[in-house]
A and B are shown apart, each in its own frame.
Chain A
Amino acid sequence: MVDAARHPNIEILAYSEVTKVDGYIGNFRVEVMKKPRYVIEDRCNGCGECARVCPIEVPNSFEMDIAPRKAIDVPHDQAVPLVYAIDIDHCIRCYKCVEACGKLDAIDFSQEPEFVELDVGSIIVATGFETFDPAVIPEYGYGVYPNVITAMELERLSNSSGPTVGRVVRPSDGKTPKSIAMIQCVGSRDSRFMEYCSGFCCMYTIKNALLLHQTYPDMDITILYMDIRTPGKGYEEFYNRARAAGIRFIRGRPSQITEDPETHNLFVEVEDQELGEVIELEVEMVSLSTAAIPQADTERLSSVLALSRSPSGFYMEYHPKLRPVDSPSDGVFLAGAAQGPKDIPASVAQGSAAASRAARVLTSDTWEIEPIVAKVWPELCISAQGKKCGICAQACPYNAIIVEPGQPAQIIQAKCHGCGGCAAECPHDAITQDHFTDAQIVAQIRELLRENPEEKILVFMCHWCSYGGADSAGTSHFEYPSNSRGIRVMCSARMDQEFILEAFRRGAGMVLVSGCHPQDCHYITGQQVAAKRFSRVPRTLERLGINPERFRVEWISAAEGEKYARVITEMSEKLASFDKEELRAETERARPAIEKRLRRWMMTPHMAPFLKDEEEQEVEKEVMA
């Protein structure tokens, strides 16, 4: 940390918050709020005279609130930069610190939050994690029984620079416990709280146990675990060392902890799975190895930076295997536990990787992007006519669209990833997507439904999941009826309601729209935009006089070839159960109403020629002539 602070190319803005990010890869403009320290950074020399005279003591969060700190303090002794800050919520404004500071005159109560703008080429998110609060598990009694503590608290107690100078003591009586039980997976691997394994707790618990064993050789140490997970290099050897040192390991998850109200000793009940018997351990102290959970402001920052989050709440990487440090937003990279619980070696590795990925951006003069991007027809955009709209900007998962009244919507192509959600959402059909234009898709619909459309199932599939699913059905030789016809688009968000109506106008027997599962979407929220739109389709169809059973929505991942085959088979069976004459009649009846709905879309200059049959075009040509 000190090295970083001394580096000429590194500027540290501690005690600050990112409030706004504009721009795109290579050209970000970041707004940072520097919170008021009430101490002038350049003048403070970190002598600590102010803290010595401050009369107010508040809980010290660095010491897990088991020790006090002054209302003017540094976060911890090795803090970088070593500048004091005033906890203004607790300060009583006695101004003793001002006196103590004397000639340095570093204390300034008039400070306000300061906003700084930075121009940067790339961004690395390394916001870390928090630990789970075990007080919500009533059967473990954390917060009720004084001698039940968390592993982090034990960590501070056993640290030589901690509040007890390294002496491990019981909160109830200040004596060193003769026995301790360490409980694993508190809050993690638990469907009630965090489903995932936090990964590093086994190792730090074993470390704590060995440390305690070295300092207090007579202490009776028991680790209660469901599985010991030590997959890293040298980790298993460390585990073996703990076993050899005489640490007791019991496989079983404790059901409850009760306390003797007089001695404050704890009774831990656990079924030893190997024995199949319940063991009641009487111990003097219990340490809970709590889950690692996402930082509280993960959600706020994810909307500032357009990041997606995995179901566990941590930031989602672009691809779990191939791009593990990239975020879905180009130029933004992830490092450390912000992306998922991980231990120090893995965090350092990911940090180095993120730094080199970021350096690639900084050292490039040009940056290649995907050719599939959205484009606006300025003359059709109603925002240009001064009307309020902005639906496209709301649909964009990457904040790539700027809408200002009086101006046509503007797409930042370097930010656009080409999902096509805006093109489908635009109510005035003013946006199209290169390589997947409305006209191209309509032409595909027309050709696929040219012959016997009522016998066909038209399938819209997204490039990343459902198309892969259909592919996998083929390569795995799953059998399914041959009457389905697929149209590939980049994302389910691109599947415009007008495409579905056009398919029915052309007489399609059935229409299937398919995309990624909600958490798998390649375009962060594309699937959600699509799902919302599709939920309205059955009602629309009903109103138009088309049986809504002819329309189906399925989320099919690239691995679910079997599901794709099953869905097509089911739909095919259903289609066979319909009377073909009746289907044709239904289409004929609904055609005028559909055409009425599609009229404006069909009349847009880029669409008109593609919608009509060749025969119709011939007639038109004659008329025009």
Chain B
Amino acid sequence: MIRSDELDRSFVQEVMAEPGGEHLITCWSCGTCAATCLVRRFDPSFNPRLILHKAGLGLREEVLSSEEIWQCSACDLCYPRCPKQIHISEVMKAIRNIAIREGYEPPGPFPEVDEQICSGCAVCTRACPYEAIERVTKVVDGEERTVAQVTKTLCMKCGICVAACPSGAMNLESISDRELISRMGAGGWLEKPGYLQGGAEEPRILAFVCQWSIHSDREWEKIRGLESDQLRIVNLSCSGRVDPAMILMALTKGADGVLVVGCKEGECHYQRGTYLGRSKVALLEQMLEQLGIAKSRVRFAESGSLDRFLFPRLVREMVEEIKASVPVVA
């Protein structure tokens, strides 16, 4: 039971005094944000409505010490739907700012910088949607060098920096290059001959799918069920995490087509991820022509929060397009 003296009335004022927290008190807990939230679809312990409600009640310690407040990635899918027009991600930021001042830290793991390889080129700094990477000058192996450094309180673990780093100095545990490549090739999938090489009856598709672009964990289950000899699915933290080198590798091996699926523009879970992913694929397409690989073998597609059952159609379309437009070599 919570006793009334545990409810800190001044906490509401504290949050509301913080930039972005002004509208906390207008929330009446309708739950639209909770039902919209993508994070919540995969992690039921996260509930933006409950965080706002608890903050409004004044459960100061419980809110500030919770891991949930760090999970909102400010995709702002809920904001335009909120009937009280509360910018929830901004309120979340306001609460986080208080938590940072109180010495709380978000839970890891965070991207790690291999300082011996990092050249301090700042590509990651520019790619990061959250301005969470800065360059610092420090002594590495007795030598003064400029290297990247991740600010933990800002990082949302999208992995865009990992894909951006030209020298492979960035690494994030669950979505490292090694991990993705092993997922691509598991069971010798990549080694089997493709349709274009005359080795399969149907084109074999490798799909990089942003985990947020698929509606729910239940739909993920359904999509996982589609996996076969013809279709391999590799889920990414964000379509911005896609690495053109991996696409090329797949195309030169047993994949006839590579499909990259990201969130709809404007709904990206990591703000700029879709834009980055699409740009990478667009650039790669130009390169493909020079390499003599048909452009239709790579495609970037967007899947919005209101698009359901879109993925099977995307795969089907791609299979048909490859069959229609690319001649079989062997």
CA distance A139 to B47 in the complex (A): 20
* Other A-B pairs beyond A190-B83, A255-B31, A255-B81, 11, CB < 8 Å: A139-B81, A139-B306, A192-B83, A252-B31, A253-B83, A255-B33, A255-B35, A256-B306, A269-B35, A271-B31, A280-B218
Contact indicator A256/B35 (Cβ below 8 Å): yes
CA distance A253 to B36 in the complex (A): 10
Contact indicator A260/B32 (Cβ below 8 Å): no
Q: How far is the CB of B42 from chain A (nearest CB, A)?
A: 12
CA distance A260 to B215 in the complex (A): 13
A261 at the interface (CB under 8 A from B): yes
Output the nearest chain A residue to B41 by Cβ-Cβ distance.
Answer: A278
CA distance A276 to B85 in the complex (A): 21
A277 at the interface (CB under 8 A from B): yes
Residue of B32, B35, B78, B216 with highest tally of chain A CB at under 10 A: B35
B167 at the interface (CB under 8 A from A): no
CA distance A192 to B83 in the complex (A): 6
CB contacts (< 8 Å) of B34 on chain A: these are 255, 271, 276, 278
Instruction: List A residues 191-207 near B (Cβ within 8 Å).
Output: 191-192
CA distance A193 to B306 in the complex (A): 21
Q: Provide the main secondary structure of the chain B interface.
A: loop
Known interface pairs A261-B309, A278-B34; A271-B49 also in contact (CB < 8 Å) = yes
- Of B31, B32, B84, B216, the contact of A280 (CB 8 Å cutoff): B216
CA distance A256 to B82 in the complex (A): 12
CA distance A267 to B218 in the complex (A): 13
Number of A-B residue pairs with CB-CB distance less than 8 Å in the complex they form: 73
CB contacts (< 8 Å) of A192 on chain B: these are 83, 85
By Cβ-Cβ distance, the 5 closest A-B pairs, closest first, are A271-B31, A255-B35, A253-B30, A190-B83, A255-B36
Contact indicator B40/A260 (Cβ below 8 Å): no
Contact indicator B35/A276 (Cβ below 8 Å): no
Interface 0/1 of B70-93, CB less than 8 Å to A: 000000001001011100000000
Residue of A192, A270, A271, A276 with highest tally of chain B CB at under 10 A: A271
Q: How far is the CB of B322 from chain A (nearest CB, A)?
A: 24
Contact indicator A273/B81 (Cβ below 8 Å): no
A138 at the interface (CB under 8 A from B): yes
Contact indicator A273/B309 (Cβ below 8 Å): no
Q: How far is the CB of B169 from chain A (nearest CB, A)?
A: 39
Contact indicator B83/A189 (Cβ below 8 Å): yes
A171 at the interface (CB under 8 A from B): no
Q: How far is the CB of B50 from chain A (nearest CB, A)?
A: 6
- Of B35, B78, B308, the contact of A278 (CB 8 Å cutoff): B35
Range for the number of chain B residues in contact with chain A: 20 to 34
CB contacts (< 8 Å) of B85 on chain A: these are 191-192
CA distance A68 to B138 in the complex (A): 78
Output the nearest chain A residue to B31 by Cβ-Cβ distance.
Answer: A271
Q: Residues on A close to B: CB < 8 A?
A: 138-139, 141, 185, 189-192, 226, 252-256, 258-261, 267, 269-273, 276-278, 280
Interface 0/1 of B44-65, CB less than 8 Å to A: 1001011000000000000000
B10 at the interface (CB under 8 A from A): no
CB contacts (< 8 Å) of B176 on chain A: these are none
CB contacts (< 8 Å) of A259 on chain B: these are 308
Output the nearest chain A residue to B48 by Cβ-Cβ distance.
Answer: A271
CB contacts (< 8 Å) of A270 on chain B: these are 31, 35
CA distance A185 to B31 in the complex (A): 13
Q: How far is the CB of A138 from chain B (nearest CB, A)?
A: 7
Contact indicator A273/B35 (Cβ below 8 Å): no
CB contacts (< 8 Å) of A252 on chain B: these are 30-31, 35
Q: How far is the CB of A205 from chain B (nearest CB, A)?
A: 17
CB contacts (< 8 Å) of B216 on chain A: these are 280
Interface 0/1 of B183-217, CB less than 8 Å to A: 00000000000000000000000000000000110
Q: How far is the CB of A223 from chain B (nearest CB, A)?
A: 15
Contact indicator A191/B308 (Cβ below 8 Å): no
CB contacts (< 8 Å) of A267 on chain B: these are 308
CB contacts (< 8 Å) of B41 on chain A: these are 278
Contact indicator A256/B44 (Cβ below 8 Å): no
Listed A/B pairs (15) with beta-carbon separation below 8 Å: A139-B306, A191-B83, A226-B28, A252-B30, A253-B30, A254-B32, A254-B35, A255-B33, A255-B34, A255-B35, A255-B81, A256-B81, A258-B215, A278-B35, A278-B40
Q: How far is the CB of B311 from chain A (nearest CB, A)?
A: 13
CA distance A148 to B29 in the complex (A): 25
B271 at the interface (CB under 8 A from A): no
CA distance A507 to B23 in the complex (A): 45
Contact indicator B83/A255 (Cβ below 8 Å): no
Output the nearest chain B residue to A188 by Cβ-Cβ distance.
Answer: B83
Contact indicator B84/A191 (Cβ below 8 Å): yes
Q: How far is the CB of B181 from chain A (nearest CB, A)?
A: 34
Q: How far is the CB of A284 from chain B (nearest CB, A)?
A: 16
Q: How far is the CB of B156 from chain A (nearest CB, A)?
A: 22
Contact indicator A256/B309 (Cβ below 8 Å): no
- Of A185, A190, A255, A258, the contact of B308 (CB 8 Å cutoff): A258
B305 at the interface (CB under 8 A from A): yes
CB contacts (< 8 Å) of B305 on chain A: these are 256
CB contacts (< 8 Å) of B309 on chain A: these are 260-261
Residue of B49, B78, B83 with highest tally of chain A CB at under 10 A: B83
CB contacts (< 8 Å) of A278 on chain B: these are 34-35, 40-41, 44
CB contacts (< 8 Å) of A226 on chain B: these are 28, 30
